[in-house]
Amino acid sequence: MPMKNAIDFKKYLLLSMLAILLLTGSFVLYDKYQFESYQKIYNKQIDIILYDITQKYPELDETDIFELLKEEAPPERSVLAKYGIDISTTPAIVKMQALRRRNFLIGMCLFISSLLLVAGIYILYIHHRRKKILGIIELIERINAKDYSIDIGYSTEDELSILKTELYKTTITLKEAAENSLEDKRRLKSSLSDISHQLKTPLTSIMIALDNLEETENIDEKTRHSFLQTIQKETTKIDFFVKSLLKLSKLDTNTVTFIKTETSIEKLLTKSLENVSLLADLKDVEMEVRGKTSLPITCDFAWQIEAITNILKNAIEHSIKKSSIIVTIEENKIYSSLSIKNEGTIDKTDLPHIFERFYRGKNASPDSVGIGLSLAKTIITKEGGSLEVESNEKNGTTFTIKYYHK
């Protein structure tokens, strides 16, 4: 609607100016035509008058007669009147004088009309500008009141419209910032709740173990050792949880600088398998590697080991005892891939949320803190790769890392 009003205003202004020009031009051409027509008649009448005067008064020469005709004295006091000649009553002269008076009146009317038209256009223009300025002031007041539900509609190309557009862009930025701030607060609240929950369980176990050690005087060595193992286990869990949180925090705030070097999937896999070898032995899980392990890859070696280790750890924790985990390396023209497959399955309702921070599925192990897979995906994505998961009862669960060729 604002654009339509602006177009109508410009159209009205243009048409008005054209009308003034056409009217003035038409009047000038008409006046010129009439003046030339009456000038011819006037000249003929003057010739007749000259002839009559020379016939009646031969003593006067033509120069004297022209001087007499040019005099501007009233008819009754004119020198020609002494000779009985009154040119003011000559039809051509009368018409010429009437034409001049009429044209003067028309010219004045056109001049006044033009002034009124220009004044009207100027008033409309000022009103239009004032309306725009008031609209911008209203927008600023709404922004100050944190009301970002603003729609400027269509916009024209004048400076106020450009200002309004820039103001709208600023509003969108402020709106997004406000929404992000609310989302950040929501996430922080949710994260604090999750962190509190994750720390509460191990801390409670530690406190119970310490209370038992403190309150029981004649505790046997076996029970004492069991309590100490519980404390160590829960402390290790807290340590892993806190370190993982710090890593995620650095990744979220983009304070991590990835130092990319050329290496091979074999080197990454060898180091990652070393990190989970003890856990694999405890669950009696066999690790089988297939494919071309020598494939080259450019990445941050330490961070990629962190990601692969977390995926392997998750696969082992959710594997059946005395089962196998198959690691497959493949390559095509677009990417190199590393797949980690176990015989366990992920519930269909858990699958869409498997990479969410602090999410623990129905089949999660008691030691899981719900942060490893989220950390792995964040690392891989930040380095330009991708992490996907597929799971069904027939084929088990497969995590696939894709390293795209540059």
Q: What is the CATH number of the domain that holds 280?
A: 3.30.565.10
Same domain, 240 and 273: no
> Are 6 and 121 contained in the same domain?
yes
Last residue of a domain, one of 219, 252, 285: 252
Q: Are residues 94 and 138 in the same domain?
A: yes
Do residues 248 and 267 share a domain?
Answer: no
Measured between alpha carbons, how far is residue 123 from residues 30, 78, 84, 96, 210 in Å?
32, 52, 59, 40, 87
190 and 132: one domain?
A: no
| Domain's final residue, options 252, 271, 293 | 252
* pLDDT, position 162: 63
Domain co-membership, 344 together with 274: yes
User: Into how many domains does the chain fold?
Assistant: 3
Residue 86 lies in a domain: yes
| Rg (the chain; Cα; Å) | 50
Residues 28 and 131 both lie in one domain: yes
| Residue 150 forms part of a structural domain | no
Does 168 reside within a domain? no
Quick one: pLDDT at residue 138?
Answer: 73
Same domain? For 96 and 203 the reply is no
Tell me which residue range forms the domain holding 137: 2-144
Residue in this structure with the two tokens 């990601």, named with its chain if needed: 307
Residues 265 and 204 in one domain: no
Same domain, 64 and 132: yes
Burial 363-389 (b: 16+ CB within 10 A, else e): ebeeebbbbbbbbbbbbbebbebebeb
Residue 178 belongs to a domain: no
| 352, 378 contact by CB (below 8 A) | no
Q: Using the 8-state DSSP alphabet, how is residue 217 labeled?
A: T
Residue 388 three-state SS: strand
Do 226 and 271 share a domain, yes or no? no
Domain-located, residue 209 = yes
CATH number at residue 232: 1.10.287.130
Residues 234 and 290 in one domain: no
Give the pLDDT of the chain (406 residues) as one tens digit per residue.
444 445 555 666 677 777 777 777 776 676 677 667 666 766 676 676 667 666 766 666 666 666 655 554 444 445 555 555 555 565 656 666 676 677 667 767 777 777 777 777 778 777 777 777 777 677 777 766 666 565 555 455 555 566 666 666 676 776 676 666 666 667 656 666 666 766 777 788 888 888 888 777 777 888 888 888 888 888 887 887 788 778 877 887 788 888 899 999 999 999 999 999 988 998 899 999 999 888 898 999 999 999 999 999 989 988 888 899 999 999 998 999 999 999 888 888 888 888 887 777 766 666 666 788 888 999 999 999 999 999 988 889 999 999 998 7
What pLDDT does residue 200 have?
Answer: 76
